[in-house]
Structure 1
Amino acid sequence: MLYDRFRPHYPQELVAFLRERIDPDSGQAVADIAAGTGIFTEQIAQWGNTVFVVEPNASMRRLAHRRLAGFKNCIFVDGTAESTGLPDQSVDMVVSAQAFHWFDLTKTKAEFKRIGRDSLLVAVVWNLRNTDSLFEQEYESLVRTYGVDYLSVSQRRMATEEVLTFFAPTAPEYRIFEHADFLGFTALRGRMLSYSFMPDETSPVYEEMLEAVAALFDRHQENGKVRLSYQTRLFIGGI
């Protein structure tokens, strides 16, 4: 799956920041909600805490099983944010990377309260692409040109006000972490094709799109790489 192979990871500074909030030797447990193929889970599983890998999509859960096969502390659960399937008061930290905007927030908050122990922390994470360089601006333009329903999908991103409402009446801590990937052509092509809104092989513009991304890469590559940078946004707090 392109998503599993080519989507970006998350900065180590973010993972280290979260680790400071949980004790790896205390029996505290983490739940990764809508864990997908386990890209973020893999980074937090290295802490050694029990990690509940909650994902409703069977094919993604299979890929997560494969990615996380070496971690005996991962427990896989067929569940959603609104109905995790986890026991009452079983979790000390809930994380959600690149998925929170799809949740029913009222039902999700009630569910997190149910599964959370005292002093539960909720961490909400998004990778957002930068458009600072000329390459990044042209890449964004290419994605907008060929992306099917790109604007409607991108506008589904959670507004800050909605996140603050979820955490209310307390205010979450907000942090930004910068990071960048240096991609060869195969990785850049795979990254672009991993977006759900991009055309697939059945589209009449598919070959045209591939030619456009190849030309973009050739214009901007240095030593066979291009730089695609991100801001990773974190909201973390109690509910």
Structure 2
Amino acid sequence: MSRDSVSRFSHKAALYDRFRPHYPPELVAFLKASIAPDPGKTVADIAAGTGIFTEQIAQWGNPVFVVEPNRAMSRLARRRLSGFKNCVFVNGTAESTGLPSQSIDLIVSAQAFHWFDLTKTKAEFQRIGRHNLLVAVVWNLRNTDSSFEQAYESLIRTYGMDYLSLSQRRMDTEEVLSFFAPDSPEYRVFEHADDLTFEQLRGRMLSYSFMPGETSPVYEELLEEITKMFNLYQEDGKVRLSYKTRLFIGGIH
């Protein structure tokens, strides 16, 4: 992970922690089943952010290494996960996790894989993985099916500084498949949706690393546009964002 891919979230950490979506319970249950479930299996959440996904998998009770290089996000992850004694926090990246060799049975990465140097990451995962290591790559991919979702996407494209070059939408399926090659990962899609109040909608949009912050000259203009959009599409004080959560899971050799 480049320095920018780490540092660009520092001023967004609190918004990220509070407003980013969770992941479908069906996905979490599927991942749990993939490791038997065996309480002795060790999990590593790579680029764990503020621990949103980690919190869901930590409930299994398995040992979980929470690997995150951004200090602001890691601090919030420690707070979120303070009740889980099975979590161990590590200052590391996908390319250099800081984990012991042959120590991990399941590696998960949620909403972060597009930031990694995949060649270096694969070598690192192979180093830390035990025999029969599984790697799970997860994304919440926002739909653009409804009129509101199309307007939301349009607003992001208008104000997002480097959205198209940095969004997970740029991660081509072939690039993911090449990471697992010569093996072929299993691919699954899980659907879910969030009904958001105005505060939640505004917080979610502002949590994206590519959206303007409070010091930007267009920040107030953006807030006005978010307000107009919400008022136009809200029903009973809420709008709906729906997601397809994509999962690639398999071994790497």
Q: Which residue of 2 aligns with 1:178?
A: 191
Paired positions, count: 239
Q: Identify which of 130, 133, 156 aligns with 2:146.
A: 133
Equivalent in the alignment of 1:63: 76
Native 8 Å contact 2:46 2:66 kept in 1:
yes
CA contact (8 A) 1:24 1:49 kept: no
Matched, 1:215 2:228: yes
Report the 3-state secondary structure (helix = DSSP H, G, I; strand = E; otherwise coil) of the residue aligned with 1:28: coil
Deviation per residue, 1:145-185 (Å, 9 max, x gap): 11112222227732111111110111000011111000000
Spell out the pairing of 1:1-239 with structure 2 (5 A cutoff): 1-154=14-167, 157-239=170-252
Gap regions ≥5 residues in structure 2: 1-13
Q: Deviations over 1:93-144 (max 9, x none)?
A: 0000111111111111111111111110000011111000000001111111
Runs of 4+ in structure 1 off by over 4 angstroms are none
Q: How many angstroms apart in 1 are the aligned matches of 2:71 and 2:144?
A: 34
Kindly provide the CA deviation profile for residues 60-94 of structure 1, in whole angstroms up to 9, marking residues without a partner as x: 11110000000000000011111111111111000
- The aligned amino acid for 1:196 is S
C-alpha deviations, 1:191-222, integer Å up to 9, x for none?
Answer: 01001111112222211111111111111111
* Structure 1: runs of 5+ lacking an equivalent: none
Counterpart Cα distance in 1 of 2:187 and 2:204: 27
Residue identity opposite 1:34 in structure 2: A
- The CA deviation at 1:11 is 0.7
SS of aligned partner of 1:162? helix
In 2, distance between residues paired with 1:77 and 1:46? 19
- For 1:179, the aligned partner's letter is H
Equivalent position of 2:6 in the other structure: none
Distance 1:124 1:66, change over 3 A: same
With 144-153 and 207-216 compared, the bigger mean Cα shift is at 144-153
- State TM-score, norm by structure 2: 0.92
SS in 2 for 1:125: strand
SS at match of 1:136: helix
The answer on whether the counterparts of 2:43 and 2:63 sit within 8 Å (CA) in structure 1 is yes
Q: Is the 8 A contact 1:174 1:236 kept in 2?
A: yes
Determine what percentage of the aligned residue pairs are the same residue.
Answer: 79
